[in-house]
Each structure stands twice: as structure tokens, then as C-alpha cells.
């Protein structure tokens, strides 16, 4: 007999988030959890500050077998999966000459192959349900190019392509797929990139932050909570006619 806790879990929609411990992923986990979802965060590291309502499973998203195993375990436990937010990713700076084969494999192993593994793992259950939403956390770089971003840029364009093809292939099962394309968002990843740049260049960090904000037509950086709000909307029934799209949230940057 199922415990009362499990019965309660089975009554709630389920959202799986890859790379949900920090930054945008963390904000997505908190948003869905607050809205009444059972949220499972698949990440190689945990965040002690994350809500206890979010279930963390240690998982190396670049390892397809681990991703498949974790998601099968989740489906067995919860009996459903309503939304996958494929968010796990890493950044790498370098032009094509500066990007080694190992660098390229590392970026694609997590950013793209991890998304493929997660998608393949949730699709059988979503097809059975005749319902589900898959959201890929792409980037404004899915639409435009940026300097010294060969591998990262390509990986995000690949996610945009995955959203379109998955949307078309699985629409008959009432499964929707979209790509979210954030611009410059103030996250730990952003601060790490700025700190690395300042260390290498000797630039003034306050000036660099101000310059980054000034590059955005709206005059500031985006916040992870804003991306999470868009992600939640795209998973909701209010967005049930939106599929195969690239949803830009970049303060107007790509409109220039």
C-alpha cells in the first residue's frame, strides 16, 4: 500500500529540471515548487540553500546512462512526468582555433548530449500520457553569434533545433517543445565569467558590470526569476498552443 506521502505526490504534476542547483535552474525549481509541482533537480552538486521541497538527485548530465537511470527512477516513483526543463549547461570562451577537441566534447557532452538523453528518457512516459512539455534552456546565442563563443554558440543553436524538431515529431502525442533564449542574466555563471575576464584583463569590475548593463536596450541585466517566470508560463495550459518556438528574454538585445 502506498504511503500517504506518495499518494499526495501522485496527485501533483511533476517537473524534472537538469542543472537545477544554481542560477536559472535554481530559480526554475523554486518557481515550479511554489506553484505546486513536485520538482526533481538532477545536478552533480547540491545547493544547501535550495528549498527542502525540491528533491535533489545527484546526476552527471553529461553521462547519458546516469540521466536515463535517474529519470526512469523518477517516473517509477511518481508515476508521471509533466515537464522537463533541460537547463544543465556550461560556458566556454574561445574561437574555433582556440577550441580543442576535448573542449568541444565537454561543451557538447553536457549542453547537447545531456539534453538528448533527458529528452529520450521522458518521451515514453509523455507519449503514454498523451501530454507533456519539454523546455530547452538555449540562449540569445541560438539566434545570434558572439565573439569567442564557437562551441557554446553552436551548442545553443543545437538546442533551438531540438526544440523545433521535437515539437513537430511529437505534436501528435500532445507533447510540446520550446526553447527559451535568455540574454545576459545575472547568475553565478555570469559573475564567474566577469571575474575571469577582470582577472585576465585587469579591467575595473564595476566598470565592466556597468558596460554589460549598458549593452542591453532596457538598461539592466536580466534576473533568473524572470526567466523562471517565462519557463513556468510555457509549461502551463495557458501556453498550450505554443510549440516549436524560440522564446527570447533578453531585454531587447537581439532586436538591435
Look up 152 and say whether it is catalytic. yes
Say what the pLDDT of residue 200 is.
86
Extract the residue ranges of the chain whose pLDDT is less than 70: 1-10
- Which residue segments constitute the domains of the chain, with CATH numbers given? 4-185+223-255 (3.40.50.720)
* H helices present in 171-204, as ranges: 188-201
Say what the pLDDT of residue 8 is.
55
3-state secondary structure of 256: coil
Say what the pLDDT of residue 9 is.
58
Distance CA 1, CA 177 (A): 36
Distance CA 256, CA 248 (A): 13
pTM of the model: 0.94
Q: One of 37, 136, 152, 253 is an active-site residue; which one?
A: 152
Say what the pLDDT of residue 10 is.
67
Say what the pLDDT of residue 11 is.
83
Distance CA 82, CA 174 (A): 11
Say what the pLDDT of residue 246 is.
98
Say what the pLDDT of residue 5 is.
39
Residue 239: exposure state from Cβ atoms within 10 A (0-12, 13-18, ≥19): middle
Say what the pLDDT of residue 189 is.
84
Say what the pLDDT of residue 7 is.
39
DSSP 32-68: HHHTT-EEEEEESS--TTS-TTSEEEE--TT-HHHHH
Say what the pLDDT of residue 110 is.
98
Amino acid at each position: 500500500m502506498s504511503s500517504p506521502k506518495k499518494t499526495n505526490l501522485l496527485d501533483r504534476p511533476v517537473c524534472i529540471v537538469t542543472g537545477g542547483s544554481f542560477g536559472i535552474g535554481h530559480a526554475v525549481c523554486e518557481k515550479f515548487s511554489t506553484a505546486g509541482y513536485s520538482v526533481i533537480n538532477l545536478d552533480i552538486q547540491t545547493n544547501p540553500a535550495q528549498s527542502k521541497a525540491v528533491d535533489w538527485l545527484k546526476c552527471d548530465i553529461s553521462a547519458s546512462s546516469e540521466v536515463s537511470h535517474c529519470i526512469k527512477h523518477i517516473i517509477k516513483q511518481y508515476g508521471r512526468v509533466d515537464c522537463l526543463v533541460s537547463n544543465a549547461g556550461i560556458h566556454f570562451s574561445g574561437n574555433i582555433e582556440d577550441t580543442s577537441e576535448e573542449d568541444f566534447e565537454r561543451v557538447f557532452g553536457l549542453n547537447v548530449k545531456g539534453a538528448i538523453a533527458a529528452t529520450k528518457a521522458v518521451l515514453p512516459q509523455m507519449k503514454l500520457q498523451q501530454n507533456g512539455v519539454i523546455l530547452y534552456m538555449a540562449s540569445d546565442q541560438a539566434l545570434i553569434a558572439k565573439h569567442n563563443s564557437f562551441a557554446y554558440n553552436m551548442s545553443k543553436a543545437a538546442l533551438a533545433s531540438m526544440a523545433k524538431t521535437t515539437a513537430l515529431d511529437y505534436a501528435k502525442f500532445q507533447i510540446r517543445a520550446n526553447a527559451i533564449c535568455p540574454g545576459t542574466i545575472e547568475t553565478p555563471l555570469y559573475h564567474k565569467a566577469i571575474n575571469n575576464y577582470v582577472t585576465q584583463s585587469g579591467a575595473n569590475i564595476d566598470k565592466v558590470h556597468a558596460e554589460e548593463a549598458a549593452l542591453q536596450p532596457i538598461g539592466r541585466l536580466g534576473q533568473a526569476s524572470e526567466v523562471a517566470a517565462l519557463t513556468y508560463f510555457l509549461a502551463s495550459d495557458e501556453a498550450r498552443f505554443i510549440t516549436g518556438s524560440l522564446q527570447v528574454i533578453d531585454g531587447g538585445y537581439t532586436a538591435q
